[in-house]
């Protein structure tokens, strides 16, 4: 069966939730975006949806501690913007609370069909990124590792970073792919859209 085209530009804000208990009913299909607080997650979401202010970019990383939910054409298809993690100035108590919520979301959310883990191409696969990918793999959730800010590197360095990331991926086991991405130049956007479309069309 042919995949239905997803009109990412029609994404609209649905709700913000402090925990998974306040999320919409656990049905339909969700794809979640996660990453360190300075990984460029909001910029990637805005590039994907062609909307400058859909996901709020903040000059203070770690400010957003809510799960933001965006609906697509069909209300049963949703993009989930998970709070940024790993920012040093967030109190330890908040970090631990968020890690528990994150684990709970990955393990218990039945409608989750894929996880996009965004990492700065210059600093990929830090400990929390790896923890997140292992969590997803254990929960049988496919992962797309997106190396953001690819425009910050010259072509040779960009290719080298991608090759090194691809070599690191098999150690996670499971269904893990990696692409490079730039919210500025839109490089990698077609690949991101293609993978998200396949996840959002999954039964």
Per-residue confidence in pLDDT tens, the chain, 203 aa: 467 889 999 999 999 888 888 999 999 999 999 998 889 998 999 999 998 878 765 554 555 578 899 999 777 899 999 888 766 566 777 777 777 777 788 888 999 999 999 999 999 999 889 988 998 999 899 999 999 999 999 999 999 999 999 999 999 999 999 999 999 999 999 999 999 999 999 86
Domain spans in the chain, listed from the N-terminal domain onward:
8-200
Pairing of strands 29-35, 67-71: unpaired
Closest CA to 146 of 47, 6, 34: 34
- Interatomic CA distance for residues 203 and 18, integer angstroms: 28
DSSP, res 36: B
pLDDT confidence of residue 86: 67
**What is the 3-state composition of the chain as percent helix, strand, coil, each rounded to the nearest 5?**
40, 20, 40
- Interatomic CA distance for residues 177 and 21, integer angstroms: 30
pLDDT confidence of residue 55: 72
Q: Over the stretch 145-176, which tens digit does the pLDDT of each residue have?
A: 999 999 999 999 999 999 999 999 999 999 99
pLDDT confidence of residue 154: 96
- Interatomic CA distance for residues 179 and 148, integer angstroms: 9
Closest CA to 9 of 78, 79, 72: 72
Closest CA to 78 of 108, 101, 45: 45
The strand pairing partners of 92, in sequence order, are none
- Interatomic CA distance for residues 104 and 8, integer angstroms: 27
pLDDT confidence of residue 196: 97
pLDDT confidence of residue 87: 60
Q: Which CATH architecture has domain 8-200?
A: 3-Layer(aba) Sandwich (3.40)
Please give the helix or strand (H or E) that residue 43 lies within, else none.
helix 41-49
Cβ-based neighbours of 192, under 8 Å, separated by 6 or more: 44, 48, 116, 144, 146, 179, 181
pLDDT confidence of residue 102: 78
């Amino acid at each position: 069966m042919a995949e239905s085209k997803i009109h990412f530009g029609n994404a609209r804000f649905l709700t913000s939730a402090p925990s998974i208990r306040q999320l919409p009913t656990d049905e339909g299909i969700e794809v979640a975006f996660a990453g360190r607080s300075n990984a460029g997650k909001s910029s990637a979401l805005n590039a994907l949806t062609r909307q400058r202010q859909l996901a709020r970019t903040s000059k203070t990383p770690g400010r957003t501690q809510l799960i933001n939910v965006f609906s697509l054409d069909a209300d049963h298809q949703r993009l989930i913007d998970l709070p940024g993690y790993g920012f040093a100035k967030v109190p330890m108590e908040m970090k631990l609370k968020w890690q528990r919520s994150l684990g709970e979301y990955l393990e218990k959310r039945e409608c989750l069909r894929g996880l996009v883990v965004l990492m700065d191409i210059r600093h990929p696969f830090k400990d929390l990124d790896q923890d997140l990918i292992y969590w997803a793999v254990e929960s049988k959730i496919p992962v797309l590792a997106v190396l953001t800010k690819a425009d910050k590197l010259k072509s040779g360095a960009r290719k080298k970073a991608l090759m090194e990331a691809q070599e690191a991926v098999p150690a996670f086991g499971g269904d893990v792919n990696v692409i490079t991405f730039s919210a500025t130049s839109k490089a990698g956007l077609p690949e991101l859209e293609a993978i998200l479309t396949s996840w959002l069309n999954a039964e």
